[in-house]
Amino acid sequence: MHFTKEADASRYTLHRGDELVSVLDYRDDGRTVAMTRAYTIPTFRGHGYAGQVVDRAVAELERSGDRTVIPVCWYVADWFDENPDRRGILAHRPA
């Protein structure tokens, strides 16, 4: 699996070989990153690729330490619910 940040397109991508399998779209205002859509190509669904692209994007943002995340996309919000130890990066912590 190959993970890439495509800043010009405001997205993170996950490829298997040469094939695009999952995308995470975002908006970055310099302080926060609003994760707006996680999408997996239909033929690749059911393998956890969306979770992988979210996990890797969050890890990259945690390493940089200069932005917080707003989980706009329902999938991203659910991912944070399933990974409560990663909520420290959230801009707005759910109750």
CATH of residue 45's domain is 3.40.630.30
Q: Is residue 95 part of a domain?
A: no
* Side-chain-facing half-sphere of 75: CA atoms under 13 Å: 18
In-domain check, residue 57? yes
Quick check: pTM over 0.85? Answer: yes
In a domain, 56, yes or no: yes
Collect all residues with Cβ–Cβ distance below 8 Å to 63 and sequence separation of at least 6. none
Instruction: Give the sign of the dihedral formed by CA 53, CA 59, CA 64, CA 68.
Output: positive
Number of domains within the chain? 1
* Residue with the two structure tokens 């995470």: 24
Band of the pLDDT at 93, cuts 50, 70, 90?
low
Q: Could you tell me if residue 68 is inside a domain?
A: yes
Edge-to-edge strands, sheet with 68-71: 2-6, 11-16, 19-28, 32-40, 68-71
Q: What are the phi and psi torsion angles at 19 (to 5°)? A: -95, 130
Q: Is residue 39 part of a domain?
A: yes
pLDDT digits (tens, 9 = 90+) for 36-60: 999 999 999 999 999 999 999 999 9
Enclosing domain of residue 38: 2-89
Within-domain flag for 47:
yes
pLDDT single digits (tens) 10-46: 999 999 999 999 999 999 999 999 999 999 999 999 9
User: 66: which residues sit within 8 A by CB, 6+ positions away?
Assistant: none
